[in-house]
C-alpha cells in the first residue's frame, strides 16, 4: 500500500501565510509522492462556531482553498468531515479506551481554560475526534504545524492502546512537522495566528496584500542606518518566499545601510505576490463556481467513506461488535 498522508483544517476564517507554509504546502508536496487525504474539519469547527450560514460557506471556502493551492484530484481526495459519519462512530469507541487525564492535558482545552472561554464537552474531547479522523483512514503521515503535534501524538497513543487491548487493528500514524517553517511570524513578529489578529491572508487582492505588508512592525531605524536582517519581521517573512540568492542579496543590503524598511517591504511584496498570483486566480474562479467545489467534496466523501467503513468493520470486529 502506498503511504497515505492525511490532514484537516477547520473552516474558520480566511487562511493565512502561516497556514500556507506550515500546512498546505508541506501537505501538498507530500501528496505528490503518496496518497493525499484532505478534509474540512466541520465537526471540529462546531466546538466554537454558532453561525450556520458562515459554517456552510466556510466549508466550501476551505475546499476551494485546497483546490486553488494545487490539490490534484486525480491522486488525492478532499471531503467534509460531517459527510463521513464513520468518524464519529470510531470517536465513541476511542473515547471508551482513553483516560480522562489525557484529555486534561490537551492544548485546545487548556488554552480555552486559560482564556476564560466556555468549555463544552466537544472541545474537551477534541483530540479524540481528531484521533478518529486520523485512524479511520489508516493514515501513515499527518502533516501539521507544531501546535498540533500533541494532538497527533495522542492519536498515536490511542492507536497503540487499542492495538494492545484488542490486537493489531489500527495503523499508528506519524506527525510530520516542517522544521524550518515550524512557526511563521505574523505582522507583529509573534506567531502568525487568527487569534493574534496579525495575519496576512493568502488570497488577498494585490493592493490589499501590499497594504498588509506595508503594515509589518519594524524598529525606527532611518534609511541610512545599517540594519540586522535576522531580527527584522520583514526579512523573517522574506526568507520564507525568496530563494537563497535573493535572501543573501537583501541581507547584504540590510547590513550595508541605505535600505529603508519601505524598500524591504516592497521586495517582500514582489516575491510573495509572484507566488500567490496563480492560486489567487484559481480561487477567484472557484468562488464564482461553488457547485464545482460541492461536487468535488461529494465525490471525495464517497471514496473516504469506503476507506473508513473498512476500518470500522475491523474495529467493530476487534472489540466484539
Ligand atoms: P490559527 O492559529 O490562525 O488559528 P489554525 O490553528 O487554523 O491557525 O492552523 C491550521 C494549520 O496551520 C495547523 O496545522 C497549524 O499548525 C498551521 N499553522 C497555523 N499558524 C501557523 C504559523 N504561524 N506557522 C506555521 N504553521 C501554522
Ligand atoms: N485540529 C486541527 C487544527 O485545529 C484540525 C484537524 C482536525 C486535524 N482533525 C485533524 C488536523 C486530523 C490533522 C489531522 O488545526
Q: What is the pLDDT of residues 166-190, one digit of tens each?
A: 999 999 999 888 666 668 999 999 9
pTM of the entire predicted model: 0.90
Q: Is the CB of 193 under 6 A from ligand 1?
A: yes
- Give the three cell numbers for residue 142: 499527518
- Map residue 38 onto helix, strand or coil: strand
Q: Give the tens place of pLDDT for each residue, 100-111.
A: 999 999 988 888
Which of the ligands is closest to the CA of residue 107? 2
Burial string for 58-82 (b: 16+ CB within 10 Å, else e) reads bbbbbbbbbbbbbbeeeebbbbbbb
For domain 194-282, the CATH architecture is Orthogonal Bundle (1.10)
DSSP classification of residue 158: H
**Residues 274-285 pLDDT 10s:** 999 999 999 999
Hey, how many other C-beta atoms are within 10 angstroms of the C-beta on 18?
A: 23
C-beta 16 within 6 A of ligand 2: no
The Å distance, Cα 321 to ligand 1 centre, comes to: 38
pLDDT value at position 179?
67
For 54-97, the pLDDT digits (tens) are 999 999 999 999 999 999 999 999 999 999 999 999 999 999 99
- We find that the CATH architecture of domain 4-183+290-319 is 3-Layer(aba) Sandwich (3.40)
* Mean pLDDT score, 120-132: 96
**Ligand 1 pocket test target in 155, 183, 193 with most atoms within 8 Å of CB:** 193
Q: Indicate whether residue 44 lines ligand 2 (CB < 6 A).
A: yes
Q: Are 295 and 74 in contact (CB under 8 A)?
A: no
Grid cell listed for 233: 519581521
Nearest Cα residue to atom 13 of ligand 2: 7
Which ranges in the chain are annotated with CATH 1.10.240.10?
Answer: 194-282
Q: What per-residue string of b and e applies to 118-136 under the rule 16 or more CB within 10 Å gives b?
A: eeeeebbbbbbbbbbbbbb
Where are the CATH 3.40.50.620 domain residues in the chain? 4-183+290-319
- Tens of pLDDT, residue by residue over 132-153, are 999 999 999 998 877 899 999 9
Considering only CA atoms, which of 12, 84, 9 is closest in space to residue 39?
9
Look at residue 196 in the predicted model and tell me its pLDDT. Answer: 92
224 Cα: distance to centroid of ligand 1 (angstroms): 36
Task: Return mean pLDDT, the chain.
Answer: 94
- Rounded distance between C-alpha atoms, residue 202 and residue 279, angstroms: 9
Q: Is the CB of 82 under 6 A from ligand 2?
A: no
Amino acid at each position: 500500500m502506498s503511504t497515505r498522508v492525511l490532514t484537516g483544517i477547520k473552516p474558520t476564517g480566511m487562511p493565512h501565510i502561516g497556514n500556507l507554509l506550515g500546512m498546505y504546502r508541506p501537505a501538498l508536496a507530500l501528496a505528490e509522492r503518496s496518497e493525499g487525504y484532505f478534509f474540512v474539519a466541520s465537526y471540529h469547527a462546531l466546538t466554537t462556531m454558532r453561525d450556520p450560514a458562515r459554517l456552510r460557506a466556510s466549508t466550501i471556502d476551505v475546499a476551494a482553498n485546497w483546490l486553488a493551492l494545487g490539490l490534484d484530484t486525480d491522486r488525492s481526495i478532499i471531503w467534509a468531515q460531517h459527510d463521513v459519519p464513520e468518524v464519529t462512530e470510531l470517536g465513541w469507541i476511542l473515547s471508551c479506551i482513553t483516560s480522562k487525564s489525557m484529555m486534561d492535558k490537551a492544548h485546545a482545552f487548556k488554552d480555552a481554560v486559560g482564556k476564560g472561554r466556555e468549555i463544552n464537552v466537544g472541545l474537551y474531547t477534541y483530540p479524540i475526534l481528531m484521533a478518529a479522523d486520523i485512524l479511520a483512514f489508516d493514515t501513515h503521515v499527518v502533516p501539521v504545524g507544531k501546535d498540533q503535534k500533541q494532538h497527533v501524538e495522542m492519536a498515536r497513543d490511542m492507536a497503540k492502546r487499542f492495538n494492545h487491548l484488542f490486537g493489531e487493528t489500527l495503523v499508528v500514524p506519524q506527525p510530520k512537522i516542517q522544521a524550518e517553517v515550524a512557526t511563521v511570524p505574523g505582522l507583529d513578529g509573534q506567531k502568525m495566528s487568527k487569534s493574534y489578529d496579525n495575519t496576512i491572508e493568502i488570497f488577498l487582492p494585490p493592493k490589499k496584500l501590499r497594504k498588509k505588508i506595508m503594515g509589518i512592525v519594524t524598529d525606527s531605524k532611518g534609511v541610512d542606518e545599517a540594519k540586522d536582517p535576522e531580527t527584522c519581521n520583514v526579512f523573517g517573512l522574506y526568507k520564507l518566499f525568496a530563494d537563497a540568492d535573493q535572501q543573501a542579496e537583501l541581507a547584504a543590503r540590510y547590513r550595508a545601510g541605505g535600505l529603508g524598511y519601505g524598500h524591504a517591504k516592497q521586495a517582500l511584496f514582489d516575491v510573495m505576490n509572484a507566488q500567490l498570483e496563480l492560486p489567487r486566480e484559481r480561487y477567484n474562479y472557484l468562488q464564482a463556481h461553488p457547485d464545482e467545489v460541492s461536487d468535488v467534496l461529494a465525490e471525495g466523501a464517497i471514496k473516504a467513506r469506503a476507506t473508513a467503513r473498512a476500518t470500522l468493520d475491523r474495529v467493530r470486529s476487534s472489540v466484539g461488535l
